[in-house]
A and B are shown apart, each in its own frame.
Chain A
């Protein structure tokens, strides 16, 4: 299975390189190579997942390695869906770095590959982690859209019309993508937190344990809640929304990775 993940990683890197070549010299065949490399890696990645699943007997998202890899897989899936729907290859330039980064971290981080102690075999736990990871993936999309928005907005404001401007999607598209990813991601994150609390109640007898991961998760959740509130009531959009989704994502990353290695938490994987 790990050879599958490795192969997928190589493919993602390959795709990343071509998406960057595409940024500087837009050619049909470069785009095609990049997209097919991504699609191929995604298929290989999926096969790896299925094999893992068969081996462990549960969906392989319980270890840190596999959960990072799962988020990368989700991003590739979302990119492919957006590509099919809108045909925007330029998004790949912003998605692939994140995918490659997640895959690399997933390879480097210490931790057991996939610990299958009995406690993890619970459906509720899988649901808790699964929902949270899907939320993370969608919020990563909002992050990418936010960055693209800032790049595009800067070019339009400064009237510096480089080649990238021609190929980035319109501001309104990026803002809408950011909005939808944010709303969906936030819903998933919320459900992830709720199922986690229910699971804790069931296992530990308490909804809330003052675990650092829990605290940071709630902080992250609040950051996103503020953003969504501002979007919906005050009508924040564009640059402000893009910045907040980037800040929110930094919190998310810290909660996801930092807490595991810097703070002591029973949430740590493996």
Chain B
């Protein structure tokens, strides 16, 4: 088999953000993909670009020149000298490329391992490839397989269950208290990167509204605009406790900004509805004594950090399980790839028809007991000849096209027409029709 699967890319581990952003902003993904189709050595192409990675996946009969062209294109198109990023590039071929894609799709290669967004981003990239017809039989199958590997890992391991950043941990604890967050209201006191990240995660989980309190009302208004929330003055924060469910506090104050008595009084007004305080500030903003009140929960940064630590250990265990699944599926894919060649396909085709012939002969002979050995032999030879004649043209066709560009398409159609691959693997094709 001469067609090679190649993956070239940079990710958050190999390249700093300055390089990643130069190499591919997701805005012009379509443009880049169209440029790539101009290069004749590249047959099937997928272009994936997220904030943590830029990857080009392609198949080629001339992988070497393909790789060089892509490198040169990246440098020219983005106007960055190749020398600046060449050392950050990773280039994988065949099984390694397959394995890498499976790892990326199942979020094993992500900055936050287990985060689910990446799969959606790959699906978008694939949709783009479908739109411009740059995905052929190999990439189609590879991508579908990648989606099913990601799904398998999601159901068989708990990779995604273990939040490993403070802000994720905060969301996880909120879910332990409230179940779902859809109708919850949050109050953000102060500002700060980690607090804003936590707010963003909560918003992604569908919280209903956000109120922002800040010492300077101007800053409150600015933050509120960003999160589409409501600004209030710092003094109104205690009053706001009556209606919100989650409080994230991150001020630079040197003393508590919410005291035990404040919350104790407000709980009656809240009809004892649970309230969750996330204290990200150091020194702390929320009196830890509040945790003693019924239906009030206080987690400070250290508490959240211990959730993270606990999750990290668990996640590593789950990641090992996931890596095993990736390896397993890579081997399976490799096996399929090997069959996507003229000779194995012809053998499989012959084998399939021979099998049918034998089965049917046995059935017929067991009914027609009166046939003599000679008759049987004649029928035997006749069916053999039939099969040969039937196969003659298709085999000739495949052999003729062996060196053509489109041979994978013909092989793929042949294999599907006669159902030569295990039926288990055919199920993965559902993605096409659902789209």
The chain A residues found within 8 Å of chain B, CB to CB, are 152, 156-157, 159, 161, 165-166, 169-173, 234-240
Contacts and interface: CB of A to CB of B under 8 A. Distances in A.
A258 to B, nearest CB: 31
Query: Chain A interface secondary structure, helix, strand, loop or mixed?
Result: helix
Contacts of B273: 235, 237
28 contacts: A152-B176, A156-B173, A156-B176, A156-B297, A157-B297, A159-B303, A161-B307, A165-B176, A166-B161, A169-B179, A170-B176, A170-B178, A171-B176, A171-B274, A172-B178, A172-B274, A234-B271, A235-B270, A235-B271, A235-B272, A235-B273, A236-B272, A237-B272, A238-B272, A239-B294, A239-B295, A240-B272, A240-B294
Contacts of B272: 234-238, 240
A174 B134 CA distance: 51
Nearest to B310: A161
Residue of A159, A165, A238 contacting most chain B CB atoms (<10 Å): A159
Which of B176, B178, B303, B310 has the largest number of chain A CB atoms within 10 A?
B176
Contacts of A169: 179
A161 B313 CA distance: 13
A171 B177 contact: yes
A161 B307 CA distance: 7
Interface string B29-65: 0000000000000000000000000000000000000
A159 B305 CA distance: 11
A161 B294 contact: no
A237 B271 CA distance: 9
A240 B271 CA distance: 13
B175 interface: yes
Contacts of B299: 159
Nearest to B302: A159
B306 interface: yes
Contacts of B88: none
Contacts of B140: none
Interface in B175-222: 175-179
Given A159-B299, A172-B274, A238 B294 contact: yes
Nearest to A172: B179
A238 B294 CA distance: 8
B294 A170 contact: no
B94 interface: no
Nearest to A170: B179
A170 B307 CA distance: 16
Report, as a range, how many residues of chain B touch the other chain.
Answer: 20 to 34
Nearest to A174: B179
Interface in B271-311: 271-274, 291, 294-295, 297, 299, 303, 306-307, 310
B161 A159 contact: no
A157 B291 contact: yes
Given A169-B179, A170-B177, A172-B178, A238 B274 contact: yes
B243 to A, nearest CB: 14
Given A161-B306, A235-B271, A236-B272, A170 B295 contact: no
Contacts of B306: 159, 161
A238 B295 contact: yes
Contact of A237 (B173, B291, B295): B295
B275 to A, nearest CB: 11
A173 B176 contact: no
Closest 5 CB pairs of A and B: A235-B271, A170-B179, A172-B179, A235-B272, A238-B295
Contacts of A166: 161
Interface in B297-333: 297, 299, 303, 306-307, 310
A170 B310 contact: no
Nearest to A168: B176
B39 to A, nearest CB: 47
Contacts of B294: 238-240
Given A170-B179, A234-B271, A235-B273, 7 more contacts: A156-B173, A156-B176, A170-B176, A235-B272, A238-B272, A238-B294, A240-B294
Nearest to A169: B179
A200 to B, nearest CB: 40
B256 to A, nearest CB: 19
A157 B176 CA distance: 12
A238 B275 CA distance: 12
